[in-house]
Amino acid sequence: MKKITRKGATVDAAVEAALRELNVTRNEVDVEIIDAGKKGFLGFGAREAEVTITVKETVKQAVNEPEENKEAIQEETMEPAIEEAPVVVPIEPMTQTIEVEAKEPIASDEQAINETKAYVTDIANAMGIDDLVVKHEMDGKYLSFQLESEKAAFLIGKRGQTLNALQQLAQLVANKTSEQFKVVRLDVGDYRERREQSLEQFAERMADQAVRNGRKVQLEPMPSYERKVIHNALSNRLDIETYSEGTDPNRYLVIEPIS
């Protein structure tokens, strides 16, 4: 059995050195790692790797074969190879065409209205409101829903927060299947109208306060359409200016006097 032991900076380096010396490949030997070596730190404590390479028995026999056997083998391997003609399998032409039609949801304002009504009704039922009646009107891109119930206060919530949240969700539902983008408005009784009147009166009082004190007034966070009501209500005044700050849902309106 032929084997040698060699060292190197790494295990791989030691193995390569031994393979070169034996003139064999990696698959023709068995490798035994005596010492994996150590890199050390800044050159201190370094140690070379050490391996023992043993030539496999079958390889050893091939290496030690007489020259005449090698020549016989070479003669056998030098015989020309006979190539077989490739078998060509005829492919039948396809006579049938399969068409796959991609189906897209059909946009429909009627479907959008019905799905929005059903969604709002389901939410009301979850809130314990089982007498909800939903009516609608559509004017171009504006889609209005009128909600009627004996428990209207539950749908409105404090300062309209519940109604505002429900309106945002209803707009998302409506625009899933509508023919064009819709601006959805939900109202309970005449709440929206009364709320707008209240905001307009509130805006005038806050504007007067800002001018009187000479300091800007910061209002509480409001949805965009309520901020727009205040902007419009004060747009004709020359002694103040209005602008919004912050990010939704905490965006608020500022009334600042003009000196």
Task: Give me the CATH topology for the region 109-189.
Answer: GMP Synthetase; Chain A, domain 3 (3.30.300)
* Distance of alpha carbon 108 from the chain centroid: 29
- For residues 206 and 242, give the distance between their C-alpha atoms in angstroms, rounded to a whole number: 11
Ranges under pLDDT 50 in the chain: 41-44, 59-60, 62-63, 65-85, 87-89, 91-98, 100, 102-103
- For residues 223 and 251, give the distance between their C-alpha atoms in angstroms, rounded to a whole number: 8
pLDDT at 64: 52
pLDDT at 40: 56
pLDDT in tens, 159-203: 888 999 999 999 999 999 888 899 999 999 889 999 999 999 999
Q: In what order do the strands lie in the sheet with 240-245?
A: 217-218, 252-257, 240-245
* Per-domain boundaries in the chain: 3-71, 109-189, 193-257
pLDDT at 10: 86
Say yes or no: do domains 109-189 and 193-257 share a fold.
no
Q: Which residue has the tokens 């539950």?
A: 154
CATH superfamily of 193-257: R3H-like domain (3.30.1370.50)
